[in-house]
Amino acid sequence: MPLTCPDTEELFSRRIDARLSSVEDLAFIEHLDACHSCADAYYRYETIFSAVSGVPELTTVAPAPMPADSTNFLKPVQRKPLVPRWISAAALVLLLTGVGKFAFDFGRKTPAVFGPDRFSSLAQVDPTSIEFPAESPGRRLRRFRENADNLYHLARVSKTRQADPNRMVRVFDDYISGSPLREDLRFLRDMDQVSLGSFRVPVRQFTDDVGRLLAQIDFEIKRSGRAQLRIRRIQQAIERSEVRRQSVRLQQVSRFYDFPEISEEQRVTLRGESQNRGFSGACISLSFGFFEDASRRLEGVVEGGDEGLREPAAFFSLFRGLSARIDIKGEQLKGFGDIFGGSKLKVIATPSATDGQLIIELENLGPDGPKRHLIRFGGRNRPQKRALRLRPLRQARSRRL
Amino acid sequence: MVRVAEGDVEAYEALYHRYRNRILTFVFRYVGDRDIAEDLAQEVFLKLYRSPRSFDPRNRFMTWLFTVARNLAIDHLRKKKPATALTQEGEDGEFSLEPPEPLNQGPVDKTLLKEMEENLQSILMTLSDKLREVFVLCAMQGLAYEEVAQIVGCPAKTVSSRLARARRRFVEELDPYLSGKKSP
Protein backbone atom coordinates (compact mmCIF):
# COMPACT_ATOMS: atom_id res chain seq x y z
CA MET A 1 0.00 0.00 0.00
CA PRO A 2 1.48 3.36 -0.97
CA LEU A 3 2.60 5.62 1.84
CA THR A 4 1.26 9.10 2.44
CA CYS A 5 3.57 12.02 3.11
CA PRO A 6 3.00 12.00 6.91
CA ASP A 7 3.56 8.21 6.97
CA THR A 8 6.80 8.68 5.11
CA GLU A 9 7.97 11.38 7.44
CA GLU A 10 7.35 9.03 10.36
CA LEU A 11 9.84 6.64 8.80
CA PHE A 12 12.66 9.15 8.36
CA SER A 13 14.29 8.41 11.68
CA ARG A 14 14.22 4.64 11.36
CA ARG A 15 15.34 4.87 7.76
CA ILE A 16 18.56 6.70 8.57
CA ASP A 17 19.25 4.11 11.26
CA ALA A 18 18.63 1.37 8.68
CA ARG A 19 15.80 -0.01 10.83
CA LEU A 20 13.12 -0.33 8.16
CA SER A 21 12.01 -3.74 7.01
CA SER A 22 12.54 -4.48 3.32
CA VAL A 23 8.81 -3.95 2.65
CA GLU A 24 8.82 -0.60 4.44
CA ASP A 25 12.02 0.39 2.71
CA LEU A 26 10.61 -0.37 -0.70
CA ALA A 27 7.43 1.60 0.03
CA PHE A 28 9.58 4.43 1.36
CA ILE A 29 11.75 4.56 -1.75
CA GLU A 30 8.70 4.40 -3.99
CA HIS A 31 7.13 7.31 -2.17
CA LEU A 32 10.31 9.37 -2.43
CA ASP A 33 10.45 8.51 -6.08
CA ALA A 34 7.04 10.04 -6.58
CA CYS A 35 7.08 12.87 -4.05
CA HIS A 36 9.49 15.66 -4.65
CA SER A 37 8.97 17.46 -1.36
CA CYS A 38 9.44 14.33 0.76
CA ALA A 39 12.59 13.47 -1.16
CA ASP A 40 13.92 16.93 -0.48
CA ALA A 41 12.93 16.81 3.17
CA TYR A 42 14.50 13.39 3.63
CA TYR A 43 17.75 14.43 2.04
CA ARG A 44 17.92 17.45 4.28
CA TYR A 45 17.09 15.33 7.32
CA GLU A 46 19.77 12.82 6.44
CA THR A 47 22.33 15.54 5.87
CA ILE A 48 21.65 17.09 9.25
CA PHE A 49 21.88 13.86 11.19
CA SER A 50 24.91 12.61 9.31
CA ALA A 51 26.56 15.81 10.43
CA VAL A 52 25.30 15.36 14.01
CA SER A 53 26.73 11.87 14.23
CA GLY A 54 30.05 13.19 12.99
CA VAL A 55 30.40 15.84 15.69
CA PRO A 56 33.67 15.04 17.45
CA GLU A 57 33.74 13.81 21.01
CA LEU A 58 35.04 15.88 23.87
CA THR A 59 38.42 14.86 25.12
CA THR A 60 39.81 14.86 28.59
CA VAL A 61 43.33 14.49 29.82
CA ALA A 62 42.33 13.82 33.41
CA PRO A 63 44.01 10.73 34.84
CA ALA A 64 41.97 7.75 35.92
CA PRO A 65 40.36 8.53 39.26
CA MET A 66 41.53 6.45 42.19
CA PRO A 67 40.42 7.18 45.71
CA ALA A 68 42.71 7.15 48.70
CA ASP A 69 40.95 4.04 50.02
CA SER A 70 42.27 2.06 47.10
CA THR A 71 42.36 -1.10 49.17
CA ASN A 72 38.64 -1.45 48.43
CA PHE A 73 39.54 -2.02 44.86
CA LEU A 74 41.74 -4.96 45.68
CA LYS A 75 39.35 -6.60 48.10
CA PRO A 76 37.48 -8.80 45.68
CA VAL A 77 40.58 -10.73 44.60
CA GLN A 78 41.91 -11.30 48.03
CA ARG A 79 39.79 -14.31 48.65
CA LYS A 80 42.45 -15.74 50.96
CA PRO A 81 44.62 -13.25 52.79
CA LEU A 82 48.23 -13.97 51.98
CA VAL A 83 49.26 -13.35 55.58
CA PRO A 84 47.18 -13.60 58.72
CA ARG A 85 45.59 -10.39 59.84
CA TRP A 86 47.57 -10.17 63.07
CA ILE A 87 50.80 -10.20 61.08
CA SER A 88 49.51 -7.39 58.86
CA ALA A 89 48.50 -5.42 61.90
CA ALA A 90 51.87 -5.96 63.52
CA ALA A 91 53.65 -4.95 60.33
CA LEU A 92 51.57 -1.82 60.12
CA VAL A 93 52.37 -0.89 63.69
CA LEU A 94 56.05 -1.44 62.98
CA LEU A 95 55.90 0.67 59.89
CA LEU A 96 54.00 3.44 61.57
CA THR A 97 56.29 3.57 64.53
CA GLY A 98 59.63 2.54 63.01
CA VAL A 99 60.01 4.09 59.58
CA GLY A 100 58.22 7.38 59.54
CA LYS A 101 58.74 8.44 55.95
CA PHE A 102 57.77 5.11 54.44
CA ALA A 103 54.83 4.84 56.75
CA PHE A 104 53.61 8.21 55.56
CA ASP A 105 53.86 7.16 51.92
CA PHE A 106 52.22 3.84 52.60
CA GLY A 107 49.30 5.47 54.38
CA ARG A 108 48.63 7.71 51.38
CA LYS A 109 49.52 6.56 47.89
CA THR A 110 52.91 5.36 46.85
CA PRO A 111 54.03 7.39 43.85
CA ALA A 112 55.64 4.35 42.29
CA VAL A 113 52.26 2.69 42.08
CA PHE A 114 49.79 5.51 41.74
CA GLY A 115 51.98 8.38 40.70
CA PRO A 116 51.91 10.39 37.52
CA ASP A 117 54.49 8.29 35.66
CA ARG A 118 52.10 5.49 35.03
CA PHE A 119 49.37 7.86 34.01
CA SER A 120 51.55 9.85 31.67
CA SER A 121 52.48 6.74 29.72
CA LEU A 122 48.86 5.67 29.47
CA ALA A 123 47.69 9.17 28.67
CA GLN A 124 49.67 8.93 25.45
CA VAL A 125 47.44 6.13 24.20
CA ASP A 126 45.33 7.59 21.45
CA PRO A 127 41.75 6.54 22.14
CA THR A 128 40.93 6.59 18.47
CA SER A 129 43.45 3.86 17.88
CA ILE A 130 41.40 1.69 20.19
CA GLU A 131 38.00 2.65 18.90
CA PHE A 132 38.87 2.56 15.23
CA PRO A 133 41.38 0.10 13.90
CA ALA A 134 44.08 1.47 11.63
CA GLU A 135 42.52 -0.37 8.74
CA SER A 136 39.30 1.53 8.55
CA PRO A 137 36.08 -0.45 8.40
CA GLY A 138 34.55 2.25 6.23
CA ARG A 139 37.13 1.85 3.51
CA ARG A 140 36.77 -1.91 3.52
CA LEU A 141 33.02 -1.74 3.59
CA ARG A 142 32.94 0.65 0.68
CA ARG A 143 35.10 -1.61 -1.45
CA PHE A 144 33.17 -4.68 -0.33
CA ARG A 145 29.88 -3.01 -1.25
CA GLU A 146 31.18 -1.98 -4.65
CA ASN A 147 32.31 -5.49 -5.42
CA ALA A 148 29.05 -7.00 -4.19
CA ASP A 149 27.16 -4.46 -6.30
CA ASN A 150 29.22 -5.46 -9.29
CA LEU A 151 28.12 -9.06 -8.87
CA TYR A 152 24.56 -7.81 -9.14
CA HIS A 153 25.36 -5.80 -12.23
CA LEU A 154 27.20 -8.74 -13.76
CA ALA A 155 24.08 -10.85 -13.26
CA ARG A 156 21.96 -8.16 -14.90
CA VAL A 157 24.29 -7.73 -17.83
CA SER A 158 24.67 -11.47 -18.37
CA LYS A 159 20.89 -11.75 -18.48
CA THR A 160 20.11 -8.89 -20.80
CA ARG A 161 22.93 -9.54 -23.22
CA GLN A 162 22.40 -13.28 -23.46
CA ALA A 163 26.12 -13.78 -23.53
CA ASP A 164 27.73 -17.17 -23.97
CA PRO A 165 26.99 -19.03 -20.68
CA ASN A 166 30.39 -20.68 -20.51
CA ARG A 167 32.03 -17.32 -20.84
CA MET A 168 29.76 -15.80 -18.20
CA VAL A 169 30.63 -18.56 -15.73
CA ARG A 170 34.29 -17.76 -16.32
CA VAL A 171 33.59 -14.05 -15.87
CA PHE A 172 32.00 -14.72 -12.47
CA ASP A 173 34.87 -16.99 -11.52
CA ASP A 174 37.45 -14.41 -12.56
CA TYR A 175 35.62 -11.61 -10.81
CA ILE A 176 35.26 -13.41 -7.51
CA SER A 177 38.79 -14.75 -7.45
CA GLY A 178 40.28 -11.50 -8.74
CA SER A 179 38.47 -9.11 -6.43
CA PRO A 180 39.19 -8.77 -2.73
CA LEU A 181 35.62 -9.83 -1.86
CA ARG A 182 36.63 -12.77 0.31
CA GLU A 183 39.43 -10.91 1.99
CA ASP A 184 37.10 -8.01 2.82
CA LEU A 185 34.44 -10.41 4.01
CA ARG A 186 36.86 -11.95 6.49
CA PHE A 187 37.99 -8.54 7.64
CA LEU A 188 34.48 -7.23 8.18
CA ARG A 189 33.42 -10.36 10.03
CA ASP A 190 36.44 -10.39 12.29
CA MET A 191 36.77 -6.71 13.04
CA ASP A 192 35.59 -5.01 16.18
CA GLN A 193 32.20 -3.93 14.91
CA VAL A 194 31.56 -1.66 17.88
CA SER A 195 32.97 1.19 15.85
CA LEU A 196 30.14 0.82 13.38
CA GLY A 197 27.66 1.90 16.02
CA SER A 198 24.05 1.37 15.05
CA PHE A 199 25.10 -0.01 11.69
CA ARG A 200 26.55 -3.07 13.36
CA VAL A 201 23.51 -5.24 12.75
CA PRO A 202 22.93 -4.34 9.08
CA VAL A 203 26.64 -4.71 8.35
CA ARG A 204 26.62 -8.16 9.93
CA GLN A 205 23.53 -9.15 7.94
CA PHE A 206 25.10 -7.83 4.78
CA THR A 207 28.37 -9.70 5.24
CA ASP A 208 26.53 -12.91 6.13
CA ASP A 209 24.34 -12.64 3.05
CA VAL A 210 27.26 -11.89 0.75
CA GLY A 211 29.14 -14.82 2.29
CA ARG A 212 26.22 -17.14 1.57
CA LEU A 213 25.89 -15.77 -1.94
CA LEU A 214 29.59 -16.29 -2.65
CA ALA A 215 29.31 -19.87 -1.45
CA GLN A 216 26.34 -20.44 -3.77
CA ILE A 217 28.11 -18.91 -6.76
CA ASP A 218 31.26 -20.85 -5.99
CA PHE A 219 29.29 -24.05 -5.86
CA GLU A 220 27.71 -23.37 -9.25
CA ILE A 221 31.04 -22.41 -10.80
CA LYS A 222 32.74 -25.60 -9.67
CA ARG A 223 29.98 -28.09 -10.28
CA SER A 224 29.63 -29.89 -13.60
CA GLY A 225 26.58 -29.55 -15.78
CA ARG A 226 25.23 -27.29 -18.45
CA ALA A 227 26.65 -23.81 -18.23
CA GLN A 228 23.32 -22.29 -19.16
CA LEU A 229 21.62 -23.83 -16.14
CA ARG A 230 24.49 -22.95 -13.85
CA ILE A 231 24.57 -19.35 -14.94
CA ARG A 232 20.81 -19.11 -14.54
CA ARG A 233 21.05 -20.42 -10.99
CA ILE A 234 23.77 -17.86 -10.28
CA GLN A 235 21.60 -15.08 -11.67
CA GLN A 236 18.64 -16.25 -9.61
CA ALA A 237 20.72 -16.51 -6.44
CA ILE A 238 21.97 -12.96 -6.88
CA GLU A 239 18.59 -11.52 -7.75
CA ARG A 240 16.82 -13.27 -4.90
CA SER A 241 19.41 -12.26 -2.36
CA GLU A 242 18.99 -9.09 -0.36
CA VAL A 243 22.56 -8.10 -1.14
CA ARG A 244 21.79 -5.29 -3.52
CA ARG A 245 19.16 -3.72 -1.29
CA GLN A 246 21.37 -4.01 1.79
CA SER A 247 24.25 -2.46 -0.09
CA VAL A 248 22.18 0.58 -0.93
CA ARG A 249 21.04 0.84 2.67
CA LEU A 250 24.58 0.70 3.92
CA GLN A 251 25.86 3.47 1.72
CA GLN A 252 25.48 5.85 4.62
CA VAL A 253 28.04 3.97 6.66
CA SER A 254 30.78 4.62 4.14
CA ARG A 255 30.17 8.31 4.50
CA PHE A 256 31.25 8.32 8.11
CA TYR A 257 34.73 7.12 7.44
CA ASP A 258 37.72 7.86 5.33
CA PHE A 259 37.15 11.11 3.64
CA PRO A 260 40.24 11.25 1.49
CA GLU A 261 42.59 14.10 1.96
CA ILE A 262 43.15 15.98 -1.24
CA SER A 263 46.37 17.90 -1.47
CA GLU A 264 46.87 20.95 -3.60
CA GLU A 265 46.51 20.49 -7.32
CA GLN A 266 46.21 16.79 -6.91
CA ARG A 267 44.45 14.97 -9.68
CA VAL A 268 42.24 12.18 -8.51
CA THR A 269 40.02 9.69 -10.14
CA LEU A 270 36.76 9.77 -8.27
CA ARG A 271 35.16 6.44 -7.97
CA GLY A 272 31.46 6.01 -8.38
CA GLU A 273 29.37 5.44 -5.29
CA SER A 274 25.75 4.53 -5.37
CA GLN A 275 23.69 7.55 -4.59
CA ASN A 276 20.70 6.49 -6.57
CA ARG A 277 17.81 6.42 -4.16
CA GLY A 278 15.29 5.57 -6.77
CA PHE A 279 14.03 9.07 -7.23
CA SER A 280 16.90 10.61 -9.00
CA GLY A 281 18.65 9.62 -12.16
CA ALA A 282 22.10 11.01 -12.23
CA CYS A 283 23.21 12.85 -9.22
CA ILE A 284 26.47 13.67 -7.61
CA SER A 285 26.95 14.31 -3.97
CA LEU A 286 29.71 16.44 -2.67
CA SER A 287 31.04 16.89 0.78
CA PHE A 288 33.23 19.88 0.84
CA GLY A 289 34.83 22.38 3.06
CA PHE A 290 36.33 24.63 0.47
CA PHE A 291 35.37 27.77 2.23
CA GLU A 292 37.65 26.87 5.04
CA ASP A 293 40.53 26.15 2.76
CA ALA A 294 40.03 28.17 -0.38
CA SER A 295 43.50 27.66 -1.74
CA ARG A 296 42.78 24.17 -2.92
CA ARG A 297 41.60 23.07 -6.26
CA LEU A 298 40.31 19.66 -7.05
CA GLU A 299 40.01 18.08 -10.39
CA GLY A 300 38.62 14.67 -11.05
CA VAL A 301 37.38 12.44 -13.76
CA VAL A 302 34.55 9.98 -13.36
CA GLU A 303 35.23 7.12 -15.66
CA GLY A 304 32.46 5.08 -17.11
CA GLY A 305 34.06 1.67 -16.80
CA ASP A 306 32.62 -1.38 -18.44
CA GLU A 307 29.03 -1.32 -19.37
CA GLY A 308 26.80 -2.14 -16.45
CA LEU A 309 29.57 -2.36 -13.91
CA ARG A 310 29.23 1.00 -12.29
CA GLU A 311 26.57 3.15 -10.88
CA PRO A 312 26.13 6.38 -12.76
CA ALA A 313 26.04 8.42 -9.66
CA ALA A 314 29.23 9.38 -7.98
CA PHE A 315 29.83 10.23 -4.41
CA PHE A 316 32.72 12.57 -3.91
CA SER A 317 34.12 13.04 -0.50
CA LEU A 318 36.48 15.87 -0.97
CA PHE A 319 36.69 17.24 2.49
CA ARG A 320 34.88 16.82 5.70
CA GLY A 321 32.20 19.39 6.01
CA LEU A 322 28.94 20.42 4.57
CA SER A 323 27.16 18.00 2.32
CA ALA A 324 25.31 19.19 -0.70
CA ARG A 325 23.85 17.45 -3.63
CA ILE A 326 23.97 18.41 -7.22
CA ASP A 327 21.60 16.99 -9.73
CA ILE A 328 22.59 17.14 -13.31
CA LYS A 329 19.73 17.94 -15.58
CA GLY A 330 18.40 14.85 -17.27
CA GLU A 331 18.24 16.33 -20.73
CA GLN A 332 21.88 17.32 -20.60
CA LEU A 333 23.38 14.27 -19.01
CA LYS A 334 21.45 11.23 -19.97
CA GLY A 335 22.06 9.22 -16.87
CA PHE A 336 23.23 5.71 -17.40
CA GLY A 337 23.54 5.92 -21.16
CA ASP A 338 26.10 8.63 -21.25
CA ILE A 339 28.34 7.36 -18.55
CA PHE A 340 28.06 3.70 -19.43
CA GLY A 341 28.69 4.47 -23.04
CA GLY A 342 32.32 4.95 -22.18
CA SER A 343 32.10 8.70 -21.76
CA LYS A 344 33.80 10.63 -19.06
CA LEU A 345 32.48 13.20 -16.73
CA LYS A 346 35.09 15.73 -15.85
CA VAL A 347 34.64 17.53 -12.59
CA ILE A 348 36.58 20.58 -11.67
CA ALA A 349 35.87 22.21 -8.39
CA THR A 350 37.57 25.53 -7.95
CA PRO A 351 37.13 27.83 -5.04
CA SER A 352 36.93 31.33 -6.37
CA ALA A 353 39.76 33.45 -5.11
CA THR A 354 37.73 36.63 -5.21
CA ASP A 355 34.55 36.04 -3.29
CA GLY A 356 34.83 32.61 -1.74
CA GLN A 357 32.47 30.97 -4.19
CA LEU A 358 32.87 27.37 -5.06
CA ILE A 359 32.47 26.78 -8.74
CA ILE A 360 31.95 23.26 -9.89
CA GLU A 361 32.37 22.63 -13.52
CA LEU A 362 30.97 19.45 -14.91
CA GLU A 363 32.05 18.53 -18.34
CA ASN A 364 30.48 15.57 -19.99
CA LEU A 365 32.89 14.24 -22.55
CA GLY A 366 30.23 12.10 -24.22
CA PRO A 367 30.02 10.91 -27.81
CA ASP A 368 27.99 14.00 -28.76
CA GLY A 369 30.87 16.26 -27.86
CA PRO A 370 31.61 18.07 -24.63
CA LYS A 371 28.78 19.60 -22.66
CA ARG A 372 29.46 21.92 -19.83
CA HIS A 373 27.57 22.72 -16.69
CA LEU A 374 28.67 25.26 -14.19
CA ILE A 375 27.35 25.20 -10.69
CA ARG A 376 28.16 27.89 -8.20
CA PHE A 377 27.96 27.66 -4.47
CA GLY A 378 28.17 30.14 -1.73
CA GLY A 379 29.99 33.41 -1.98
CA ARG A 380 30.36 35.95 0.75
CA ASN A 381 26.99 37.47 0.13
CA ARG A 382 25.10 34.24 -0.06
CA PRO A 383 24.79 31.81 2.80
CA GLN A 384 26.10 28.38 1.93
CA LYS A 385 22.96 26.63 2.98
CA ARG A 386 21.41 27.62 -0.33
CA ALA A 387 23.49 24.83 -1.78
CA LEU A 388 21.16 22.41 -0.10
CA ARG A 389 18.20 23.64 -2.06
CA LEU A 390 19.07 21.98 -5.34
CA ARG A 391 16.24 19.76 -6.36
CA PRO A 392 16.46 16.13 -7.33
CA LEU A 393 15.42 14.88 -10.72
CA ARG A 394 12.24 12.99 -11.22
CA GLN A 395 12.19 12.12 -14.87
CA ALA A 396 14.99 9.61 -14.61
CA ARG A 397 12.75 6.91 -13.17
CA SER A 398 12.49 4.88 -16.34
CA ARG A 399 16.25 4.66 -16.57
CA ARG A 400 16.68 3.11 -13.18
CA LEU A 401 18.21 -0.30 -12.91
CA MET B 1 36.23 -6.14 33.01
CA VAL B 2 36.89 -9.52 34.58
CA ARG B 3 40.46 -8.42 35.11
CA VAL B 4 39.23 -5.21 36.72
CA ALA B 5 37.04 -7.21 39.06
CA GLU B 6 40.13 -9.21 39.99
CA GLY B 7 41.89 -6.03 40.99
CA ASP B 8 44.02 -5.42 37.91
CA VAL B 9 44.81 -1.71 38.06
CA GLU B 10 46.23 -1.66 34.55
CA ALA B 11 43.05 -3.14 33.15
CA TYR B 12 41.09 -0.47 34.97
CA GLU B 13 43.27 2.26 33.54
CA ALA B 14 43.00 0.81 30.05
CA LEU B 15 39.22 0.83 30.36
CA TYR B 16 39.31 4.37 31.60
CA HIS B 17 41.43 5.56 28.69
CA ARG B 18 39.26 3.71 26.24
CA TYR B 19 35.92 5.01 27.41
CA ARG B 20 36.64 8.32 29.17
CA ASN B 21 35.92 10.51 26.14
CA ARG B 22 32.72 8.73 25.23
CA ILE B 23 31.42 8.95 28.78
CA LEU B 24 32.50 12.56 29.13
CA THR B 25 30.80 13.47 25.87
CA PHE B 26 27.63 11.65 26.82
CA VAL B 27 27.43 13.27 30.25
CA PHE B 28 28.21 16.69 28.80
CA ARG B 29 25.49 16.34 26.20
CA TYR B 30 23.14 15.28 28.97
CA VAL B 31 23.85 17.92 31.61
CA GLY B 32 25.15 20.69 29.37
CA ASP B 33 28.01 21.82 31.58
CA ARG B 34 31.59 20.84 30.87
CA ASP B 35 32.88 21.11 34.45
CA ILE B 36 30.02 19.14 35.90
CA ALA B 37 30.39 16.59 33.12
CA GLU B 38 34.08 16.15 34.00
CA ASP B 39 33.16 15.56 37.65
CA LEU B 40 30.38 13.15 36.84
CA ALA B 41 32.57 11.24 34.37
CA GLN B 42 35.19 10.84 37.07
CA GLU B 43 32.50 9.64 39.41
CA VAL B 44 31.40 7.04 36.89
CA PHE B 45 34.88 5.58 36.81
CA LEU B 46 35.22 5.80 40.56
CA LYS B 47 32.11 3.70 40.79
CA LEU B 48 33.66 1.22 38.41
CA TYR B 49 36.81 1.28 40.50
CA ARG B 50 35.07 0.83 43.81
CA SER B 51 32.54 -1.79 42.88
CA PRO B 52 33.59 -3.64 39.76
CA ARG B 53 31.55 -6.62 40.89
CA SER B 54 28.30 -4.74 40.36
CA PHE B 55 28.83 -5.33 36.64
CA ASP B 56 27.03 -8.40 35.39
CA PRO B 57 29.34 -10.05 32.83
CA ARG B 58 26.33 -11.28 30.87
CA ASN B 59 25.68 -7.69 29.83
CA ARG B 60 27.76 -5.51 27.57
CA PHE B 61 30.26 -3.41 29.45
CA MET B 62 29.56 -0.23 27.52
CA THR B 63 25.84 -0.51 28.20
CA TRP B 64 26.53 -0.86 31.90
CA LEU B 65 28.90 2.10 31.89
CA PHE B 66 26.39 4.30 30.10
CA THR B 67 23.71 3.20 32.58
CA VAL B 68 25.90 4.30 35.49
CA ALA B 69 26.66 7.59 33.72
CA ARG B 70 23.01 8.21 32.98
CA ASN B 71 21.96 7.52 36.57
CA LEU B 72 24.55 9.93 37.90
CA ALA B 73 23.49 12.57 35.37
CA ILE B 74 19.84 12.13 36.34
CA ASP B 75 20.72 12.43 40.03
CA HIS B 76 22.59 15.61 39.26
CA LEU B 77 19.73 17.09 37.24
CA ARG B 78 17.23 16.18 39.96
CA LYS B 79 19.30 18.02 42.54
CA LYS B 80 19.66 20.96 40.20
CA LYS B 81 16.11 21.10 38.92
CA PRO B 82 14.35 23.13 41.65
CA ALA B 83 16.66 26.02 40.94
CA THR B 84 16.07 25.87 37.21
CA ALA B 85 13.14 27.33 35.40
CA LEU B 86 10.76 24.69 34.12
CA THR B 87 9.23 25.97 30.99
CA GLN B 88 7.53 23.46 28.83
CA GLU B 89 6.05 20.08 29.23
CA GLY B 90 7.48 17.38 27.00
CA GLU B 91 5.46 14.84 25.11
CA ASP B 92 5.94 12.25 27.82
CA GLY B 93 4.65 14.62 30.43
CA GLU B 94 8.13 15.37 31.64
CA PHE B 95 9.52 18.85 31.90
CA SER B 96 12.30 20.15 29.83
CA LEU B 97 14.88 22.65 30.90
CA GLU B 98 15.00 26.13 29.60
CA PRO B 99 17.94 26.68 27.27
CA PRO B 100 20.81 27.79 29.48
CA GLU B 101 21.97 30.47 27.10
CA PRO B 102 20.84 32.01 23.85
CA LEU B 103 21.90 30.25 20.67
CA ASN B 104 25.28 31.19 19.38
CA GLN B 105 25.53 34.24 17.21
CA GLY B 106 28.14 33.27 14.65
CA PRO B 107 29.20 34.97 11.44
CA VAL B 108 27.05 34.46 8.36
CA ASP B 109 29.59 32.69 6.23
CA LYS B 110 30.14 29.75 8.56
CA THR B 111 29.26 26.38 7.16
CA LEU B 112 26.08 24.70 8.24
CA LEU B 113 27.98 21.98 10.02
CA LYS B 114 30.09 24.36 11.99
CA GLU B 115 27.08 26.41 12.83
CA MET B 116 25.25 23.36 13.98
CA GLU B 117 28.18 22.12 16.04
CA GLU B 118 28.29 25.42 17.84
CA ASN B 119 24.58 25.42 18.55
CA LEU B 120 24.29 21.71 19.14
CA GLN B 121 24.37 21.82 22.91
CA SER B 122 21.89 24.66 23.15
CA ILE B 123 19.49 22.83 20.86
CA LEU B 124 19.96 19.63 22.83
CA MET B 125 19.08 21.41 26.05
CA THR B 126 15.73 22.38 24.60
CA LEU B 127 14.81 18.70 24.40
CA SER B 128 13.28 17.01 27.39
CA ASP B 129 15.58 14.73 29.41
CA LYS B 130 14.01 11.60 28.03
CA LEU B 131 14.28 12.70 24.44
CA ARG B 132 17.76 14.07 24.95
CA GLU B 133 19.22 10.92 26.45
CA VAL B 134 17.86 8.77 23.62
CA PHE B 135 19.06 11.26 21.03
CA VAL B 136 22.56 11.42 22.45
CA LEU B 137 22.91 7.67 22.85
CA CYS B 138 21.46 6.70 19.48
CA ALA B 139 22.12 9.56 17.10
CA MET B 140 25.42 10.72 18.54
CA GLN B 141 26.99 7.75 20.30
CA GLY B 142 25.74 5.30 17.69
CA LEU B 143 24.28 2.74 20.09
CA ALA B 144 21.64 0.31 18.85
CA TYR B 145 18.02 0.79 19.92
CA GLU B 146 18.18 -2.39 22.00
CA GLU B 147 21.23 -1.20 23.90
CA VAL B 148 19.65 2.16 24.59
CA ALA B 149 16.48 0.40 25.68
CA GLN B 150 18.54 -1.49 28.25
CA ILE B 151 20.21 1.69 29.48
CA VAL B 152 17.11 3.81 29.86
CA GLY B 153 14.88 0.92 30.92
CA CYS B 154 12.17 0.97 28.29
CA PRO B 155 11.22 -1.11 25.26
CA ALA B 156 13.17 -0.65 22.02
CA LYS B 157 10.00 0.59 20.31
CA THR B 158 9.76 3.42 22.81
CA VAL B 159 13.39 4.27 22.07
CA SER B 160 12.57 4.37 18.37
CA SER B 161 9.58 6.67 18.82
CA ARG B 162 11.42 8.95 21.27
CA LEU B 163 14.32 9.19 18.87
CA ALA B 164 12.01 10.12 16.02
CA ARG B 165 10.39 12.81 18.18
CA ALA B 166 13.76 14.09 19.31
CA ARG B 167 15.00 14.31 15.75
CA ARG B 168 11.86 16.11 14.66
CA ARG B 169 12.24 18.61 17.48
CA PHE B 170 15.91 19.00 16.67
CA VAL B 171 15.12 19.83 13.05
CA GLU B 172 12.42 22.26 14.19
CA GLU B 173 14.91 23.98 16.45
CA LEU B 174 17.50 24.08 13.70
CA ASP B 175 15.07 25.22 11.05
CA PRO B 176 15.18 28.96 11.78
CA TYR B 177 18.93 28.87 11.19
CA LEU B 178 18.70 26.89 7.99
CA SER B 179 15.96 28.98 6.49
CA GLY B 180 17.66 32.17 7.51
CA LYS B 181 14.70 33.43 9.58
CA LYS B 182 16.87 33.57 12.62
CA SER B 183 20.01 35.25 11.56
CA PRO B 184 22.91 33.65 13.37
**How would DSSP label each residue in B108-169?**
TTS-HHHHHHHHHHHHHHTS-HHHHHHIIIIIIT---HHHHHHHHTS-HHHHHHHHHHHHHH
Across the interface, whether the CB atoms of B21 and A12 are under 8 A apart is answered no
Using an 8 Å CB-CB cutoff, list chain B residues near A58: 21, 24-25, 28, 34, 37
Subunit contact B5:A130, Cβ cutoff 8 A: no
B108 touches A: beta carbon within 8 Å: yes
Chain A residues touching residue B68 (CB < 8 angstroms):
none
Q: What is the pTM of this model?
A: 0.42
Would you call B22 an interface residue with chain A, using a CB distance cutoff of 8 Å?
A: yes
Return the pLDDT at A369.
53
Give per-residue pLDDT as tens, B104-131: 333 333 455 566 666 788 888 888 888 9
Phi, psi angle pair for A261, to nearest 5°: -85, 130
Q: How far apart are CA A339 and CA A365, in angstroms?
A: 9
Task: Give the DSSP letter of residue A68.
Answer: S
User: pLDDT at position A176, please?
Assistant: 84
CA angle A252, A258, A262 (to 5 degrees): 120
Residues of B in contact with A125 (CB under 8 A): 14, 17
Question: What CA–CA distance (Å, rounded) separates A134 from A301?
Answer: 28
Closest partner residue to A76 among B7, B46, B108, by Cβ?
Answer: B7
**Interface contact A52-B28, CB threshold 8 A:** no
Among A372, A371, A312, CA closest to A342: A312
* 3-state class (DSSP) for residue A180: coil
Q: Mean per-residue pLDDT for B4-30?
A: 80
Which pLDDT score, from 0 to 100, does residue B158 have?
92
Please provide the average confidence, as pLDDT, over all residues in chain B.
Answer: 73
Highest mean pLDDT among A253-257, B5-9, B54-58, B59-63: B59-63
Contacts of A369 by beta carbon, 8 Å cutoff, 6+ apart: none
Q: Which residues of chain A have pLDDT under 50?
A: 69-82, 94-135, 254-367, 373, 375-401
pLDDT tier at B159 (50, 70, 90 boundaries)? very high
Q: Which chain A residues touch B109 with a CB distance below 8 Å?
A: 291, 356, 378, 380, 383-384
Q: Do B17 and A127 touch (CB under 8 A)?
A: yes
Q: Kindly identify which residue of chain A lies nearest to residue B167, measuring between CA atoms.
A: A13
Q: Report which listed range, A66-80, B35-49, B83-97, is most confident.
A: B35-49
According to the model, what pLDDT value does residue A111 have?
Answer: 30
- What is the C-alpha to C-alpha distance for residues B9 and A393, in angstroms, rounded to an integer? 59
pLDDT at B164: 92
First-to-last alpha carbon distance for chain A, in angstroms, is 22
Contact list, B136 vs chain A (CB under 8 Å): none
CA A194 to chain centre: 14
pLDDT at B162: 92
Q: Which residue has the higher pLDDT, A282 or B135?
A: B135
* Structure confidence at residue A112 (pLDDT): 28
pLDDT of residue B7: 66
Q: Comparing A88 with B37, which gets the higher pLDDT?
A: B37
